Structure 1
Amino acid sequence: MFTPVSSGADCLALDLAAAMEMARRQSPAISENRIAITEARKEIKEIFGLFHSPQFELISYGGMVSDARGDITDTPDSNEDYGHMGPFFKADITAVQPIYSFGKYDNAMGAGKNNVAMKKAVFRESVNILGFEVAKAFLGVAAGSEGERIGRELVQHYRELLDRLEKMVEEQDGDIDAGHLLEAKTMLFEVEKQASRPEVDREKAMLYLRGLLGRDQDFAVEVIPVEEPGLDLNSNFFPLFLDFSRHHSPLLQSYDFGLESLKQKAALEKKMKYPDLFVAMGAGYGIAPNRDKQTNAFINDDYNYKKLGGVLGLKWDFNYHINSSKEEKALLEYRKIAAKKKVAMLKLEGGLRKAYTEARNNKKLLLAVEKSIKSARTWLRLENENFDMGIGDVKRLVKAYQAYYKLKGSEIETRFHYLLSLAELAKGAGDMDLFLLWIQNGKVAIPLNEKNEKYEQDEK
């Protein structure tokens, strides 16, 4: 949705699902792959037309031609006599209908349909990759925004501490003297440095996110933070998820469809050694008023005639060496793509193992840092109480502040890496909507429905 901000500009407030959808709608890469699907479908129409539709050809023209009177035995005119010219018009039409191709049509159509399926899988993979990039930038902006808030809170509280120290020094309250105040002010730089780091990270992520969304770099974007889905650390999740990903990944599916298309293409080239049967019909009409019509069946006047006929024909390509070479090239391409698929499967498994391991580790770290924050909060409260009673140590109080807010920053960073590793898991499975589903349901699980109907409208 769009909401106004005080500057008068527009602010685009998005959740992750809306951001992914917006990026998909304007992405040039997505448009390119959508066009590739359309092109592949057009090729199927061409195949059908080549093997099943009659091929029509019409040639029609008119002009001037010399006179021709009489017949073959008696005429006053000569073929070199151009002194008397008259108009003529002629039209010839032929129709060739393929009737049998010895299996070529089935192989050509099989190659074409698998090519369309491959393009669709490539389309889904491009959507998947784009979705991951959007999620990475989105999570970075959300983490940076939360870090900025914590940083502002740290600086505010620390400056309040400095004000308290100045007041105590002025009032000579307790054991606090000017040395303690100077020591605390000296540490202000480190505090502000720690607080400013998230702002830089957020701006980098925001620049990338705006680019993915197709927005100008001065356009205000507000992200709605995502909820953290749970991950069962004791479940047998990964083996099942790996098996799911092998069958669900559009990248692997694109290789499968590409291999089947090449197999059909090789079979097609092999069958090019066989003939094609066809029937053909032709009709022609020519008229030249200044030329006498000939009734002798053995005489043909190219400017004055009526023709009609039909044939059963055979078309045979005897270029066996060329056809064999094309078949061998298709089989070699098949072997090359099969090798690439094996590499892709190894990369997929390795990437999923890495992402799952990182997700488990980050989940453990997140649980640990949450416990540490509770202890740090208690320590900070204790140091504040001691300081108020005049028995506290400035350095210990400052360290308590820094420790608490550093842990808060670590919590944000760890949560970011945890969510990012889950996004990488979904990306490896080939469907970033899995990540959205996990966020919505609050837990990481394998979906029961593996269908891809949600992409059909976009593919069109």
Structure 2
Amino acid sequence: MALLRVALFAVFTVLFVVEVSIAQQDTLRLNLQEFIERSRIESALLNAQRSSVELSQNRVDQAKSQRILPRIELSTAHGLVPAVKSDIPGLPEGQYYLDPNLRNDWYDWGFFNRVEVTSLQPIYTWGAIGNAINAARQGVIVAEAEFAGQQADYELRLMELYYSRLLAMELQNLINDAWGQIEEAEEKIAELIEDGDEDLEEADLFQFRIFKYEFLSRMDEVNESVTFTESAWNLALNNDNKNVVYLPETNFLDPIPFESYDIRYYEEHAQQLRSEIKQYNAIQNAAEYGLKINKVANYPSLFMGLSASFAKTPNRPKQRNPFIINNTNYESVSYGIGFRQNLNFLVNKNNINRSQLQVRQARYAKEAARDGILLDVREKFRNMMMSYSKLENTREALQISEEWLRLEQIDYDLGFGEVKKLVDAVKANLELEASYKQRIFEFNVNSSKLNRAAGLPIAPTN
């Protein structure tokens, strides 16, 4: 029996270890960088914008293809045609054109085949093709800058979501730890009132119960926040497997390192790194290239053309005269150079005026974007400094509340403290702990928003 008990104990131990191992495999912890990277890969919005970049690159390839044989066509024709018959005795087939009474032979049919190739090669276009390529390249820069901006905004939302879950988890742990103390304090107050404690009244118990139910409302709110942030994580990570749980790398919400830079530091980086600056620069450049294209439309372009044609029908003999062509049996090649001139000068003038307006509009838009970026940096810098001040002041207040709570606990344990003061100290400490976590969250978010406004990396790299 002893041996059997040992064997059963070993089996249960192995099963327990296996279950724990499986549970650990189902729980994946991610740091901020890993969470952002995985969510970014799963983002349909970013994938769609990435396709826009690929489309703009395709436009560059299309513009480049206009350099070499932009027009080359192949056409064929096939069918059945009757033969021809001449009544002149001894007339060679190559001279059938001399017979004025030549007629179709409806009893002799043959296959007709014709192949034609035409091509056009520009030689000099006054820079129209080169400007079109450069304009398309600027379009790639615009698409890439727009993608970079959307990616930065998406990463900022992911960062806020990451810290939101940490905040919800911290508040949930804080509330769960405090709930037992609140119930214990309520029982103690009621007991002291029944014993006739002169320092407590019925009103004190009512006030505490009001605080208790307000605390319950906050507890429900925090629990719902935990559920919501967990669902948001699963959506961001495209996690449909209920057996897999993603959690932050740590359960503690700590403030990111504070770096005290002057506002000019962020403004200088914003003017150099913000994707909007690159985007509007490229838009202005593209508009200028478009203006050049419309200007050269008034000039003739030089091109070279090539045309080759071949037709073969067995029962229709080829004629041996260069001025006589049998359309069903011949070879022909022609090439040369020529000029092409757009004579619609009024339309060209309107196109030039429109391009000039577009260049001016792009320049004004770039200046407005630069001013807006600087204003955005200053606003985000102000919010960050205010949140840092609130964080530091709340930290100091929390330390004072902890000292107050320790003092009241010592006095109560020694027998000459008041329950009411101890309860007030507990309430103040709980409120400040929750407020401190909220201040950390706000500071982290505002710091990341400032980095986003300056074009700097949003998340800390360490």
State the TM-score bracket (shorter-chain normalisation): 0.7 to 0.9
SS in 2 for 1:51: coil
Q: Distance in 2 between matches of 1:124 and 1:118?
A: 10
Query: Do structure 1's residue 155 and structure 2's residue 171 form an aligned pair?
Result: no
- Residue 231 of structure 1 corresponds to which residue in structure 2? 258
Q: CA deviation at 1:87?
A: 2.1
Q: CA deviation at 1:122?
A: 1.0
Range that drifts further, 176-185 or 304-313 = 176-185
Checking the alignment, whether the CA contact within 8 Å between 1:151 and 1:196 is kept in structure 2 is no
Query: Do structure 1's residue 246 and structure 2's residue 284 form an aligned pair?
Result: no
Q: CA deviation at 1:255?
A: 1.3
Q: CA deviation at 1:359?
A: 1.3
**Cα deviation per residue 1:256-299 (whole Å; 9 max; x = unaligned)?**
11111121112112212222212222222212222222111111
- Residue 32 of structure 2 corresponds to which residue in structure 1? 16
**Cα deviation per residue 1:425-451 (whole Å; 9 max; x = unaligned)?**
1221234x34323xx2xxxxxxxxxxx
* Cα separation, partners in 2 of 1:348 and 1:5, compared to 1, 3 Å: farther
Q: CA deviation at 1:392?
A: 2.8
SS in 2 for 1:52: coil
Q: CA deviation at 1:423?
A: 1.1
Q: What are the equivalent positions in structure 2 for 1:6-405 lying under 5 Å apart?
A: 10-53=26-69, 55-69=71-85, 70-78=95-103, 82=106, 84-164=108-188, 179=202, 184-185=208-209, 187-216=211-240, 220-225=245-250, 227-233=254-260, 235=261, 237-405=262-430
Tell me the C-alpha RMSD between the 2 structures: 2.9
SS in 1 for 2:121: strand
Q: Distance in 2 between matches of 1:146 and 1:342?
A: 45
**Cα deviation per residue 1:329-351 (whole Å; 9 max; x = unaligned)?**
33333333333333333332222
Q: CA deviation at 1:94?
A: 2.4
Q: Distance in 1 between matches of 2:299 and 2:120?
A: 19
Q: Distance in 1 between matches of 2:99 and 2:205?
A: 132
* Cα separation, partners in 2 of 1:160 and 1:187, compared to 1, 3 Å: same
Q: Distance in 2 between matches of 1:124 and 1:147?
A: 34
SS in 1 for 2:97: coil
Q: CA deviation at 1:176?
A: 7.6
Checking the alignment, whether the CA contact within 8 Å between 2:152 and 2:458 is kept in structure 1 is no
Q: CA deviation at 1:315?
A: 1.9
Q: Distance in 1 between matches of 2:360 and 2:239?
A: 44
Which residue type is aligned with residue 30 of structure 1?
A: L
Q: CA deviation at 1:187?
A: 3.8
SS in 2 for 1:228: coil
**Cα deviation per residue 1:361-416 (whole Å; 9 max; x = unaligned)?**
22122122112111111111222223234433332222111100111111111111
Q: CA deviation at 1:232?
A: 4.6
Q: Which runs of 5+ in 1 are unaligned?
A: 441-460
**Cα deviation per residue 1:67-88 (whole Å; 9 max; x = unaligned)?**
2355222154336x75643222
Checking the alignment, whether the CA contact within 8 Å between 2:256 and 2:460 is kept in structure 1 is no
Q: Distance in 2 between matches of 1:413 and 1:400?
A: 20
Q: Distance in 1 between matches of 2:311 and 2:366?
A: 62
Q: Percent identity?
A: 19
Q: Distance in 2 between matches of 1:4 and 1:71?
A: 99
Q: What are the equivalent positions in structure 2 for 1:422-441 lying under 5 Å apart?
A: 422-431=447-456, 433-437=457-461, 440=462
Checking the alignment, whether the CA contact within 8 Å between 2:119 and 2:305 is kept in structure 1 is yes
Q: Distance in 2 between matches of 1:319 and 1:191?
A: 79
Q: Distance in 2 between matches of 1:51 and 1:320?
A: 25
Checking the alignment, whether the CA contact within 8 Å between 2:81 and 2:111 is kept in structure 1 is yes
* Cα separation, partners in 2 of 1:4 and 1:142, compared to 1, 3 Å: farther
Checking the alignment, whether the CA contact within 8 Å between 1:288 and 1:303 is kept in structure 2 is yes
Q: CA deviation at 1:9?
A: 9.8
**Residue from 418, 438, 441 that aligns with 1:413:** 438
Q: Distance in 2 between matches of 1:323 and 1:186?
A: 79
**Cα deviation per residue 1:216-268 (whole Å; 9 max; x = unaligned)?**
496633123565233355x5x21121111111001221111111112111211
Q: Distance in 2 between matches of 1:43 and 1:404?
A: 63
- Residue 449 of structure 1 corresponds to which residue in structure 2? none
Q: CA deviation at 1:324?
A: 2.8
* Cα separation, partners in 2 of 1:71 and 1:208, compared to 1, 3 Å: same
Equivalent residues, number: 431
SS in 2 for 1:292: coil
Q: Distance in 1 between matches of 2:292 and 2:254?
A: 53
Checking the alignment, whether the CA contact within 8 Å between 2:83 and 2:110 is kept in structure 1 is yes
SS in 2 for 1:68: strand
Range that drifts further, 45-54 or 336-345 = 336-345
Q: Distance in 2 between matches of 1:183 and 1:292?
A: 116
Checking the alignment, whether the CA contact within 8 Å between 1:148 and 1:196 is kept in structure 2 is no
Range that drifts further, 237-246 or 66-75 = 66-75
Q: CA deviation at 1:190?
A: 3.1
Q: Distance in 1 between matches of 2:427 and 2:62?
A: 70
SS in 2 for 1:293: coil
SS in 2 for 1:20: helix
Q: Distance in 2 between matches of 1:299 and 1:186?
A: 112
Q: CA deviation at 1:304?
A: 0.9
Which residue type is aligned with residue 127 of structure 1?
A: Q
Q: CA deviation at 1:95?
A: 2.9
TM, length-normalised to structure 2: 0.84
